[in-house]
Structure 1
Amino acid sequence: MNTIQIIGLGAGDLEQLPLGCYRKLKNAEQLFVRTADHPALTDLAAEGTVFSSFDEVYEKHDTFEPVYREIADSLLTLASEGDITYAVPGHPLIAEMTVQHLIDYERQGKCLIRIEGGQSFLDPLFSALRIDPIDGFQLVDGTSFDIQRINMTQHILIAQVYDMFSASEVKLALMEKYPDDYPVTIATAAGSKQELIRTVPLFELDRSAELNNLTTVYVPPVTEQEERLREWQTFRDIIAVLRGPGGCPWDREQTHESLMPYLLEETHELLAAIQQEDDEAIAEELGDVLLQVFLHAQIGQDNGYFQLEDVLNKVSEKMIRRHPHVFGDVKAETSEEVTANWQQIKKNEKELPVSLLADQFRFSSSLQTSFNYQKEAAKVGFTWRDSEGAWDKFQEELQEFKQEVANGTTDDQLEEFGDLLFTLVNIARFYNLSPEEAMVKANAKFRERFGYVEKRVAKDAGRFEAYTLEELDGFWNEAKQLKRKE
Structure 2
Amino acid sequence: MGKISIVGLGPGDYSLISQGALEALQSAQKIFLRTEKHPTVDKLKESIKYTSLDYFYEKEENFEDVYTKISEFIIETSKEGDLVYAVPGHPRVAEKSVGIIESMAREKGIEVETIASMSFVDAMFNYLAVDPADGFKLIDAFEIQNSYIDTNTAMIITQIYDSFIASNIKLQLMEYYDYDQEVCIVSGAGVKNLESKKYVPLFELDRMENKFDYLTSLYIPKSSKKVYNTVNDLYQIMETLRGPGGCDWDKKQTHESLKKYVIEEAYELCQAIDNDDIDEMIEELGDILLQVIFHCQIGQEEGLFDLKEVVAGICEKLIHRHPHVFKNEDIDMNTFDKTWEELKKEEKGEDTVTEGLKRIPKYLPALTKAEKIQYKAALVGFDWDNIDDVLKKVEEEYKELLDEHKQGNIKYIKEELGDLLFSIVNLSRFLGINPEEALNLTSQKFINRFEFVEEGSRKLNKKLEDMSLEEMDNLWNEAKANKL
TM over 0.5: yes
Q: Does 1:388 align with 2:391?
A: yes
Q: Does 1:32 align with 2:35?
A: no
* Unaligned segments of structure 1, at least 5 residues: 481-486
Q: Does 1:219 align with 2:217?
A: no
| 1:320-359 aligned within 5 A | 320-328=319-327, 330-336=329-335, 338-348=336-346, 349-352=348-351, 357-359=357-359
| 1:47-196 aligned within 5 A | 47=46, 50-76=49-75, 79=78, 83-109=82-108, 112-193=111-192, 194-196=194-196
Alignment partners' CA distance in 2, 1:291 and 1:451: 37
User: 1:270: how far off?
Assistant: 1.7
Amino acid at match of 1:339: D
Q: Which is further off, 150-159 or 345-354?
A: 345-354
Alignment check: 8 A CA contact 1:185 1:218 kept:
yes
RMSD over aligned Cα, in angstroms?
A: 3.7
Amino acid at match of 1:146: Q
Alignment check: 8 A CA contact 1:401 1:417 kept:
no
Query: CA 1:238/1:479 → structure 2, altered by over 3 Å: closer, same or farther?
Result: farther
User: 1:103: how far off?
Assistant: 2.1
User: 1:202: how far off?
Assistant: 2.6
User: 1:408: how far off?
Assistant: 8.2
Alignment partners' CA distance in 2, 1:182 and 1:442: 53
Amino acid at match of 1:316: C
User: 1:476: how far off?
Assistant: 6.4
Q: Which is further off, 317-326 or 10-19?
A: 317-326
Query: CA 1:200/1:465 → structure 2, altered by over 3 Å: closer, same or farther?
Result: farther
Alignment partners' CA distance in 2, 1:64 and 1:9: 20
Q: Does 1:242 align with 2:222?
A: no
**TM-score normalised by L of structure 1:** 0.82
Alignment check: 8 A CA contact 1:11 1:214 kept:
no
Alignment partners' CA distance in 1, 2:249 and 2:479: 43
Alignment partners' CA distance in 1, 2:36 and 2:405: 92
User: 1:243: how far off?
Assistant: 2.2
CA offsets, 1:67-98, max 9 Å, x none?
22333344455555554433221011221223
Alignment check: 8 A CA contact 2:397 2:416 kept:
no
Query: CA 1:43/1:264 → structure 2, altered by over 3 Å: closer, same or farther?
Result: same
Query: CA 1:473/1:179 → structure 2, altered by over 3 Å: closer, same or farther?
Result: farther
Q: Which is further off, 461-470 or 351-360?
A: 461-470
2:311 counterpart residue number: 312
SS at match of 2:91: coil
Alignment check: 8 A CA contact 1:453 1:479 kept:
no
User: 1:397: how far off?
Assistant: 5.1
1:42 counterpart residue number: 42
SS at match of 1:168: helix
Query: CA 1:253/1:114 → structure 2, altered by over 3 Å: closer, same or farther?
Result: closer
Q: Does 1:199 align with 2:202?
A: no
2:211 counterpart residue number: 210
Amino acid at match of 1:311: V
**TM-score normalised by L of structure 2:** 0.82
| 1:406-485 aligned within 5 A | 418-443=418-443, 449=448, 469=472, 470=474, 474=478, 477-478=481-482, 480=484
Query: CA 1:105/1:317 → structure 2, altered by over 3 Å: closer, same or farther?
Result: closer
Alignment partners' CA distance in 2, 1:377 and 1:40: 71
User: 1:142: how far off?
Assistant: 1.9
User: 1:334: how far off?
Assistant: 1.0
User: 1:119: how far off?
Assistant: 1.0
Alignment check: 8 A CA contact 1:61 1:67 kept:
yes
SS at match of 2:222: coil
Amino acid at match of 2:35: T
Alignment check: 8 A CA contact 2:16 2:117 kept:
no
Query: CA 1:222/1:422 → structure 2, altered by over 3 Å: closer, same or farther?
Result: same
CA offsets, 1:213-237, max 9 Å, x none?
3222223334544x1x111110111
Amino acid at match of 2:398: Q
User: 1:283: how far off?
Assistant: 2.9
1:259 counterpart residue number: 258
Amino acid at match of 2:38: H
Query: CA 1:415/1:344 → structure 2, altered by over 3 Å: closer, same or farther?
Result: closer
1:369 counterpart residue number: 369
Query: CA 1:453/1:304 → structure 2, altered by over 3 Å: closer, same or farther?
Result: farther
Amino acid at match of 1:345: L
Q: Which is further off, 71-80 or 179-188?
A: 71-80
Query: CA 1:177/1:394 → structure 2, altered by over 3 Å: closer, same or farther?
Result: farther
Query: CA 1:182/1:479 → structure 2, altered by over 3 Å: closer, same or farther?
Result: farther
Alignment partners' CA distance in 1, 2:477 and 2:69: 76
SS at match of 2:241: helix
Alignment partners' CA distance in 2, 1:212 and 1:464: 82
SS at match of 1:157: strand
Query: CA 1:87/1:390 → structure 2, altered by over 3 Å: closer, same or farther?
Result: same
Identity over aligned pairs, percent? 37
Alignment check: 8 A CA contact 1:13 1:43 kept:
no
